[in-house]
A and B are shown apart, each in its own frame.
Chain A
Amino acid sequence: MDAQHLNLIYLIVAAALATFATRFGGYVLITQLKRIPPRLEAALNAVPAAVLTTLVAPAFVYGGFDVAVSMLVAFAIGMRFSTLRMLVVGWVAVMVIRHVIL
């Protein structure tokens, strides 16, 4: 195994430990702290949406016309239906744009 691949293994192990820390952390926290300060709770509450948005917005702006249109279509679907349907419809949209229209 070369060094670069070994680094990936370390990365996965670190990600696994980080995930386990979140799943064990709340238990430790609740037995130590009585209450989480409201501003801290508000900040923590915003973490996942804030992080995930940074993976969506730049892809929409810099990903090209075909990606942007299929994301818009998927967005419309996502307001009513599941993530799985968003993926299917968004995928169909990008395939049509790439192979039929362009």
Chain B
Amino acid sequence: MNRDDFRAGLRGGFPIMLAASPFGALFGALAVDNGFTIADAVFMSATVYAGASQMVGIELFGNNVQPWLVVLSVFAVNFRHVLYSASIAKYISHFSFGQKLLAFFLLVDPQYAETEQRGERGLPVTFAWYLGFGLVIYVPWIINTLVGAIFGQLIGDPKSIGLDVLLPIYFLGLVLGFRKRDRFLPVVATSAVASIAAMHFVGSPWHVSIGALAGILLAAVLPPEHRLQQGSTTVEKEA
């Protein structure tokens, strides 16, 4: 393995790691607040390793949503990764099978964006570079989760220090991150109305699946705004 490539990867991933750190800590604190132990929170960060969906997972778990629906929601929020792995397939075809497995495990939004850019510019995407970039984000993500979870355990009433508003605001930020996408407004408006109505008439947790389904069906039925160009898969902001 090439040490220079590995170091270049470490350097490239470093600013991303700094930007993601508060979110790792936030996840740890909110996970404990939603009934996780410190070990559970760390275990989730180490195995799922997808910030937004981890937040969704703890939010639904804290609201006693059925497990299959929690897993389905995590799957849905991470669905964009299907596009990522399809898109970078051509740049990592020289990886061995084991290297590919590890590469896909580490495929978070910035990892995708950097790999895509590197490949497009004709720079070699070596496994050493990919691993360096991935590990400098992955390892601190776990450590920050631990720190946040320990802090979360020290807090008595999360509401008195305003922790309870952070998840809805975080999710709002993620929704806004998608606002350049096709059919954003009709999809969001439909899912909003449907989930509010479902919360009132059916009750939690069904508002998640009913609201999401309404927006997704609308997107499938509406005529397309414009043809998507190949390779136009965009990266949304995510922790």
Listed in ascending order, the chain A residues whose CB lies under 8 Å from chain B are 5, 7-16, 18-27, 29-31, 38-63, 66-67, 70-71, 74-75, 78-79, 82-84, 86-87, 90-91, 94-95, 98
A51 engages B172 (CB within 8 Å): no
B182 engages A45 (CB within 8 Å): yes
Q: Does B7 contact A (CB under 8 A)?
A: no
Partner of A19 from B59, B81, B188, B215 at Cβ < 8 Å: B81
B172 engages A9 (CB within 8 Å): no
Measured CB to CB, the nearest residue on chain A to B44 is A12
Kindly supply a per-residue 1/0 record for chain B positions 194-237, scoring 1 wherever the CB is within 8 Å of any chain A CB and 0 otherwise.
11100100001001101111111111101010001000000011
- How many inter-chain contacts with C-beta < 8 Å in the A-B complex? 267
B164 engages A67 (CB within 8 Å): yes
Kindly supply a per-residue 1/0 record for chain B positions 35-79, scoring 1 wherever the CB is within 8 Å of any chain A CB and 0 otherwise.
011001001100111101100110101000001001111111111
Measured CB to CB, the nearest residue on chain A to B50 is A19
B228: A residues at CB distance < 8 A: 41
Shortest CB-to-CB span from A24 to chain B, Å, is 5
Q: Does B162 contact A (CB under 8 A)?
A: yes
Shortest CB-to-CB span from B47 to chain A, Å, is 4
CA distance A23 to B89 in the complex (A): 11
Shortest CB-to-CB span from A100 to chain B, Å, is 12
B237 engages A83 (CB within 8 Å): yes
Partner of A27 from B23, B76, B77, B89 at Cβ < 8 Å: B89
CA distance A42 to B176 in the complex (A): 18
B71 engages A15 (CB within 8 Å): yes
Q: Does B124 contact A (CB under 8 A)?
A: no
A11 engages B81 (CB within 8 Å): no
A78: B residues at CB distance < 8 A: 172-173, 176
B224: A residues at CB distance < 8 A: 38, 42
14 pairs of residues in contact across A and B, judged by CB atoms under 8 Å: A5-B37, A8-B40, A8-B61, A26-B81, A38-B224, A43-B220, A52-B175, A54-B191, A55-B59, A55-B208, A56-B192, A57-B196, A91-B165, A91-B166
A20: B residues at CB distance < 8 A: 104-105
A91: B residues at CB distance < 8 A: 162, 165-166, 169
With A21-B75, A51-B208, A63-B168 given, can you name 12 additional A-B contacts, CB distance below 8 Å?
A: A5-B40, A18-B71, A19-B49, A44-B79, A46-B220, A47-B216, A51-B212, A52-B178, A59-B168, A74-B169, A82-B173, A87-B173
CA distance A93 to B82 in the complex (A): 37
Measured CB to CB, the nearest residue on chain A to B210 is A54
A56 engages B82 (CB within 8 Å): no
A49 engages B178 (CB within 8 Å): yes
Shortest CB-to-CB span from A19 to chain B, Å, is 5
A50 engages B165 (CB within 8 Å): no
Kindly supply a per-residue 1/0 record for chain B positions 80-117, scoring 1 wherever the CB is within 8 Å of any chain A CB and 0 otherwise.
11111111010000000000110011010000000000
